[in-house]
Amino acid sequence: MVATVTAAARDSLLNVCMDAKHHKTEPGPEGQLYGQCVLWKDNACCTANTSLEAHQDQSYLYNFNWDHCGAMPERCKRHFIQDTCLYECSPNLGPWIDQSDTSWRKERILHVPLCREDCEQWWEDCQDAVTCKVNWHKGWNWTTGINQCPQGAMCQKFKFVFPTPADLCELIWSHSYRYTPHRRGSNRCIQMWFDPAQGNPNVAVARYYA
């Protein structure tokens, strides 16, 4: 009996969408996902429209401005777009879905084990980008409707705000991600980037942790 319950509980963590602002209620194919989100078109929690907005500098998704300390370099921005695509589109984050009591979502992700290369490349490409905050989830000045640096916060390069790749991945979104020593292809860590022709490696990772 216990085994059956465990299997059912485990299956409920696989192939699910979180209860959040733009997510579909359940995953399914999306023919027309845009740009970097196309990796998830076979089975996605996001709509085509959400995938398009994920690429806009101040999209209506969250009115969030990447360029709050001047223009973010494109090679850095692509990681934030990819991070948004993973968050909005992936049906493989079930084991890390956590309750959230904010106005705009009932659930969030917590401690998703990110592959080492994904973290390191993100940090590498963003080290000279500029920001004024460690935690991007809270503490902004929203008086204009778009996030601005709070008064007295100094703009400085990522490499000073986030001295290590682990700092960047773990702190920027309130521990949504966890830096791991695991490498891509190990089936022990979630890949933000993968080749869809080879299938989605995160299916196996979710199963392992579930």
Residue 131's DSSP bridge partners are 156
Tokens of 114: 């990110």
Q: List, for residues 132-157, the tens digit of each pLDDT value.
A: 999 999 999 999 989 999 999 999 99
Q: List, for residues 8-61, the tens digit of each pLDDT value.
A: 666 778 899 998 888 999 999 998 899 999 999 999 999 999 999 888 876 667
* Interatomic CA distance for residues 133 and 123, integer angstroms: 15
Residue type present at position 116: R
For the stretch 159-168, contacts whose Cβ atoms lie closer than 8 Å and that sit 24 or more positions apart, written own/partner, are: 159/123, 159/127, 159/128, 161/131, 161/133, 161/134, 162/123, 162/134, 164/123, 165/116, 165/119, 165/120, 165/122, 165/123, 165/124, 166/119, 167/134, 168/119, 168/122, 168/123, 168/126
pTM, 2 dp: 0.90
The mean pLDDT value of the chain amounts to 91
Q: List, for residues 77-130, the tens digit of each pLDDT value.
A: 999 999 999 999 999 999 999 887 777 778 889 999 999 999 999 999 999 999
For the stretch 161-167, contacts whose Cβ atoms lie closer than 8 Å and that sit 24 or more positions apart, written own/partner, are: 161/131, 161/133, 161/134, 162/123, 162/134, 164/123, 165/116, 165/119, 165/120, 165/122, 165/123, 165/124, 166/119, 167/134
pLDDT at 1 over 50: no
